[in-house]
Structure 1
Amino acid sequence: MGNKDKGKTSTNLNRAPNAFLYGLLYILCWLLSKLIFRTGYKRTTDFKKCDGPMLIIGNHSSYLDAPLTLVGAGFKRMHFVGGDFLYNKKTEKFLDWLGIISKNQFQPDVKTVLRLVRTLRAGRRVMIFPEGQRSVNGSSSPIAPQFARLVKRVGVTVATIKCKGSYLAWPRWSKGFFRPGKITVESDILLTPDMIAAMDSEMIHSKIEAALNISDYDYQLAKKKPGKYLTSKPAAGLDTILHHCPACHQPHSMESSGKTLFCSICGWAVKLALDGFFINTRETKRPIFTRIDKWHQWQQQQLATFFAENEDAVLTFTANLQKRRGRELSPSIPGQVTLDAPKLSFKPEEKRELAALLPESENDEDFSTILSFPRVGQEGLYARYGRDFRQANRLGTWVITPEIKSWPIVVHDWIIMQ
């Protein structure tokens, strides 16, 4: 957001979200969620009775979570914390009326924290997804320990709104639109001010992670019969997340044909059923994994093992680099990305192209050192899987577009290595 946006957002927090617009959204979201997803809303008595400032948290499985949590909170108007990428000329006024608190994803954002604290101290309610991004594989993502320290600092009631089934209804990697199927939304109180006062940040962090440890596959298996999420191409786009073949162990080898995920090297194939689980094809006797999250966890372990067993391990790939300037992007610069255990580096084919984007004081002979991004300290990855991802350093925010579509998920898995 630019300076204009920041000033306006700050003023916005003096008032609650526009009641008329919020009410219209509530009715619309409730109606569509019932018609399309047969959504069941469950609110505990404690949640219904709770009044005053509240920090409401939820798991982040898909784009559906925001409208579902809006309804899941009942008639408690909330300020949502949302990524600054939501803002543009068309959405700015709408988000302004809703009192959205914008945030730079996966970057320190002191101003956002201050706005959130002021909003709670003004007696309002704030809704935030602590994972910071939509789930990649249907299971929960890590939550930064700093969030627990924020909870300790504000000391207000913490509530949860859990969405189950929303990942399968609109998976992050999907090339299509949403998939009609059953969703359940549950609202409850997690921590009271007295409980928070008696706990340290570590205990709060464990409590929050346990509460938001939600898997859509466990949700399916808990039913007598797993539900279906309707689409004509259930596996389309899944190869941008699952690239490593579990049969021949070759990375960057998986391709999608709509209903099937197959290895372009060994020919092993598996189908994705409408309930979200893998089933065998005529050529494959049984799937090696039945769940996307288990396959992805295995894939992550393969990468971690590669670096752990080889001290000098390095991965390289060709990509184009662009610098973000507000909402604009600089011209593309071709080059090579290098991944080793501690950092990601970019080296341009032509040094003078990168020099034009850097201050004179930064122009030295080794541009790979200048455009270096440490792995430690990165809380997550802003990425459009199958397309590009972002990295940030003191020189700005950079968009990296690999030639091979599976590299963004490799970078994601590299960041979260233990």
Structure 2
Amino acid sequence: MSKQPNEWKRFDTKSPPRRQNLFLMPVTWVVARVYCWLHREKFKRERMEGLRPPYLLLLNHNCFYDYASMTMALMPHRPSYIVSVDGFHGFTTILKLLGGIGKRKFTNDVYLIRQLLRIKQNGDVIVMYPEARYSLIGTRALIPEAVGKLAKLLKIPVVTVNMSGHHQTMPFWSQKDRFLPVGETLIQQLFTSEEVKSLSVSEINAGIREALEYDDWAWQQENQVCIDLPTRAEGFHEVLYQCPHCLHEYTTRTKGAIIYCEHCQKEWELTQYGEFRALAGETEFPHPPDWYEWQRDNVRREVEEGTYYLQTPVLIDALPDSRKFIPLGEGTLTHSKDGFLMKWSYLGEDYTLEKSVNEMYSCHIEIHFHLRQMSCIDLSTLDDTYFVYPLSPQVNVTKIALATEELYKYYVGNVETGERSPYYLSQNK
């Protein structure tokens, strides 16, 4: 019998962190070595001599394969990982044995700080992906100012791991591992504990952002890495949703190595070396991230002009615990300058979820997610995570993610530096 939401069992995000099982550590090393060997990955270490836990390990994030590189980077030290609650789905027991700590994405969880301090006390490695999601386009996503504040609070060394080419082997918009060679991974002790104590939060954050800067498309082009897979562009339209020729949204499609627009019929080939080439006429954006950032500019313009508004029917699944998705049926989702508003009915009761603009500096999205094989966004509270699947063909989850970031920038400020926006300052004199 179905239960009301107040009766659901929920994931315990408050329990003390569990140390990684010592018997499983060599298993993770073997699995990681095999994966890295298959991808011909090499590692370079700087300032790592004599470093012992506890320390804070920060990595850029493109795909599932990152976890193998992360394991190689911290061997033979014992880690604890911050993992989203949905990441535990289907792997709850094993991830807890491996030292996983559950957190709901883009929420402010004070209990997480207590858990991280406990990991430090245990003498283990704290592992974080500060971008908090896979990169949508193979370049660095936002790293919030809070990361530098956390480093100051922990007062332990900061180590960064910058992986190259991972987006090319397993793109977000495909999520199929192509088992291609990847670039050299740089592991460096960015700051000693003494340096963390002496530097300001802004200096620490600037160093972290610089150390984790990357562009996997530029890496491919500079190193002339040939990707001759005949299906190498398939799925790219999920991220590049607007045609740069006719400017129509939601009309791009992909087939094989081609991305094309159904409205104006223009076609571009994704070449073997990671550049776009128009099959006829001008190539608007040879470099794929430039196309993505052009879309961002267009969304920013809508936000600044006050015209950004989205409303769509949606399917909603809840994940209160990591073990089972609960279908909630259909509802409506609105996204605007007021943030997210979602309404639905379940077992005869009406429900509403509101997330203001200042609560979310970014938004996690998925392409062809789990059993539904549909694109979705997820909205979380401290107790629940909702996977929200837009049903309108005139909606793209990448645009929702871009709009979430641009709304925050315009109405709140720069999440990376903490600087408030002109609008925010004018409203809070």
TM-score of the superposed pair, with normalisation by structure 2: 0.84
Distance verdict in 2 for CA 1:12–1:405, change over 3 Å? farther
Aligned: 1:23 with 2:16 = no
For the Cα contact (< 8 Å) 1:73–1:161, is it kept in 2? no
User: Paired residue for 1:72?
Assistant: 73
For the Cα contact (< 8 Å) 1:157–1:193, is it kept in 2? yes
For the Cα contact (< 8 Å) 2:109–2:382, is it kept in 1? no
User: Paired residue for 2:148?
Assistant: 148
**How far has the Cα of 1:321 moved from its partner?**
3.6
**How far has the Cα of 1:296 moved from its partner?**
0.6
For the Cα contact (< 8 Å) 2:316–2:329, is it kept in 1? yes
One-letter code aligned to 2:296:
Q
For the Cα contact (< 8 Å) 1:10–1:115, is it kept in 2? yes
From 217, 233, 236, the equivalent of 1:235 is 233
**How far has the Cα of 1:313 moved from its partner?**
4.4
For the Cα contact (< 8 Å) 2:313–2:331, is it kept in 1? yes
| Whole-Å separation in 2 of the counterparts to 1:355 and 1:3 | 22
Aligned: 1:39 with 2:34 = no
Comparing 245-254 with 96-105, which one deviates more in the overlay?
Answer: 96-105
Instruction: Spell out structure 1 runs of 4+ moving beyond 4 A.
Output: 1-7, 352-355, 393-396
**How far has the Cα of 1:384 moved from its partner?**
1.2
Gaps of 5+ in 1: 359-369
Aligned: 1:318 with 2:301 = no
User: Paired residue for 1:398?
Assistant: 386
RMSD, matched Cα: 2.5
Distance verdict in 2 for CA 1:152–1:236, change over 3 Å? same
Distance verdict in 2 for CA 1:2–1:188, change over 3 Å? farther
**How far has the Cα of 1:356 moved from its partner?**
1.1
User: Paired residue for 2:242?
Assistant: 244
SS in 2 for 1:383: strand
One-letter code aligned to 2:16:
S
| Whole-Å separation in 2 of the counterparts to 1:211 and 1:374 | 32
| Whole-Å separation in 1 of the counterparts to 2:336 and 2:48 | 47
| Whole-Å separation in 2 of the counterparts to 1:306 and 1:202 | 30
For the Cα contact (< 8 Å) 2:62–2:166, is it kept in 1? yes
SS in 1 for 2:256: coil
| Whole-Å separation in 2 of the counterparts to 1:2 and 1:12 | 20
**How far has the Cα of 1:213 moved from its partner?**
1.3
| Whole-Å separation in 1 of the counterparts to 2:394 and 2:119 | 41
Comparing 198-207 with 245-254, which one deviates more in the overlay?
Answer: 198-207
For the Cα contact (< 8 Å) 1:120–1:154, is it kept in 2? yes
Deviations 1:277-302 (A, max 9, x none): 22232xx2442112221111100111
From 362, 369, 372, the equivalent of 1:380 is 362
**How far has the Cα of 1:175 moved from its partner?**
5.4
| Whole-Å separation in 1 of the counterparts to 2:77 and 2:167 | 25
| Whole-Å separation in 1 of the counterparts to 2:65 and 2:132 | 15
One-letter code aligned to 1:401:
Y
Deviations 1:4-25 (A, max 9, x none): 7557x62623xxx233322222
Distance verdict in 2 for CA 1:312–1:357, change over 3 Å? same
Identity over the aligned pairs, expressed in percent?
18
For the Cα contact (< 8 Å) 1:54–1:126, is it kept in 2? yes
**How far has the Cα of 1:41 moved from its partner?**
1.1
Distance verdict in 2 for CA 1:50–1:324, change over 3 Å? closer
From 389, 399, 406, the equivalent of 2:377 is 389
Distance verdict in 2 for CA 1:390–1:32, change over 3 Å? closer
User: Paired residue for 2:176?
Assistant: 176
Distance verdict in 2 for CA 1:177–1:72, change over 3 Å? same
SS in 2 for 1:202: helix
- Number of residue pairs the alignment of both structures matches: 391
User: Paired residue for 1:411?
Assistant: 400
| Whole-Å separation in 2 of the counterparts to 1:40 and 1:22 | 21
User: Paired residue for 1:82?
Assistant: 83
Distance verdict in 2 for CA 1:405–1:33, change over 3 Å? farther
One-letter code aligned to 1:373:
K
For the Cα contact (< 8 Å) 2:83–2:100, is it kept in 1? yes
Which structure has more relative contact order (CA 8 Å, sep 6+)? It is 2
For the Cα contact (< 8 Å) 2:161–2:188, is it kept in 1? yes
Aligned: 1:331 with 2:328 = yes
**How far has the Cα of 1:266 moved from its partner?**
0.5
For the Cα contact (< 8 Å) 1:181–1:228, is it kept in 2? no
**How far has the Cα of 1:353 moved from its partner?**
5.5
| Whole-Å separation in 1 of the counterparts to 2:170 and 2:103 | 23
Comparing 393-402 with 158-167, which one deviates more in the overlay?
Answer: 393-402
Distance verdict in 2 for CA 1:353–1:21, change over 3 Å? closer
Distance verdict in 2 for CA 1:151–1:160, change over 3 Å? same
Distance verdict in 2 for CA 1:11–1:297, change over 3 Å? closer
One-letter code aligned to 1:109:
D
Deviations 1:236-256 (A, max 9, x none): 111111100000111111111
User: Paired residue for 1:198?
Assistant: 198
Distance verdict in 2 for CA 1:393–1:63, change over 3 Å? closer
TM-score of the superposed pair, with normalisation by structure 1: 0.86
For the Cα contact (< 8 Å) 1:242–1:254, is it kept in 2? yes
User: Paired residue for 2:16?
Assistant: 10
Distance verdict in 2 for CA 1:49–1:285, change over 3 Å? farther
One-letter code aligned to 1:273:
T
Gaps of 5+ in 2: 1-7, 369-374, 410-429
Deviations 1:335-358 (A, max 9, x none): 3x333223233456xxx6696153
